[in-house]
Amino acid sequence: DIQMTQSPASLSASLEEIVTITCQASQDIGNWLSWYQQKPGKSPQLLIYGATSLADGVPSRFSGSRSGTQYSLKISRLQVEDIGIYYCLQAYSAPYTFGAGTKLELK
Amino acid sequence: QVKLQQSGAELVKPGASVKLSCKTSGYTFSTSYMSWFKQIPGQSIEWIGMIYAGDGGTGYNQKFKGKATLTVDTSSSTAYMDLSSLTTEDSAVYFCARRSHHWFAYWGQGTLVTVSS
């Protein structure tokens, strides 16, 4: 199975701050990496697909990048509504696997 | 608009089985893929498996083979997941999600399954 190592596990940041979350894949997954935000009691919401493409309706302060097998999600100016847990997902090969999650809190 | 409406919370006894549903609307169900996921509260998400509604073809995470069985009813645009021989380790929230290429833009609201005597 492909392992997705996500970091940090938790992050405390201030409003308007730049936030970066990373996922390291254990092998090549191409661009088949997506990012999700999950709020308590809710289902995950797609933010980024294909490693770098912004999903419909997602604010432009979110962006995704790739360097080899390392993938990053960046929030350019943190807003209150961005608080939640973020997950990466590889859907390159089955079984699809998620990162362990990053809990983002306000400082 | 695309909607995935999951069935309500279940309280089941150890050893029993449960069938969860995911009723869809707003897109062509019969040519789509549906995946199911498991999330124990406070933990990350696991992919259980996927079914193609066109022919009922399935693919499972090895971890869930024998535990989960995926089916569809194209006449009602509904996907189902049977969970068998339930134990307390099966207590979790289960999500259905429609696969678009290699990502999941549409999710059900989740069904909480509690296994307890």
* Digit-coded pLDDT (tens) for B50-59: 999 999 999 9
Contacts of A18 (CB under 8 A, 6+ apart): A74, A75, A76, A77, A78
Binned at pLDDT 50, 70 and 90, residue B93 comes out as very high
pLDDT digits (tens, 9 = 90+) for A34-51: 999 999 999 999 999 999
Say yes or no for a CB contact (<8 Å) between B104 and A87: no
CB contact under 8 A, A96 and B35: yes
Per-residue model confidence (pLDDT) at position A16: 97
Q: What rounded mean pLDDT belongs to chain B?
A: 97
From chain B, pick out residues whose CB is under 8 angstroms from the CB of A42. 109
Q: Tell me, what DSSP letter sits at residue A93?
A: S
What is the distance between the alpha carbons of residues B48 and B34, in angstroms, rounded to a whole number?
A: 11
β-strand partners of B21: B80
| Per-residue pLDDT, B94 | 98
Query: Per-residue confidence at A94, pLDDT binned at 50, 70, 90?
Result: very high
pLDDT for A5 equals: 98
Question: Which two tokens mark A17?
Answer: 């701050």
Sorting pLDDT into bands at 50, 70 and 90, what band is A89? very high
Q: Do A43 and B44 touch (CB under 8 A)?
A: no
pLDDT of residue A11: 96
Interface test with A, best of B102, B107, B111, B112 (most A CBs within 10 A): B102
Strand partners, B9: none
Confidence of residue A95 (pLDDT cuts 50, 70, 90): very high
Residues of A in contact with B110 (CB under 8 A): 43
Residues in chain B: 117
Residues A61-85, mean pLDDT to the nearest whole number: 98
- Percent helix, percent strand, percent coil in chain A, to nearest 5: 5, 50, 45
The predicted model gives A80-90 an average pLDDT of 98
Amino acid symbol at B48: I
Give phi and psi for A31, each to the nearest 5: -100, 20
Contact B104 A89 (CB under 8 A): yes
CA angle A72, A86, B93 (to 5 degrees): 145
The one-letter amino acid code at A28 reads: D
- Start-end of H helices in B2-117: none
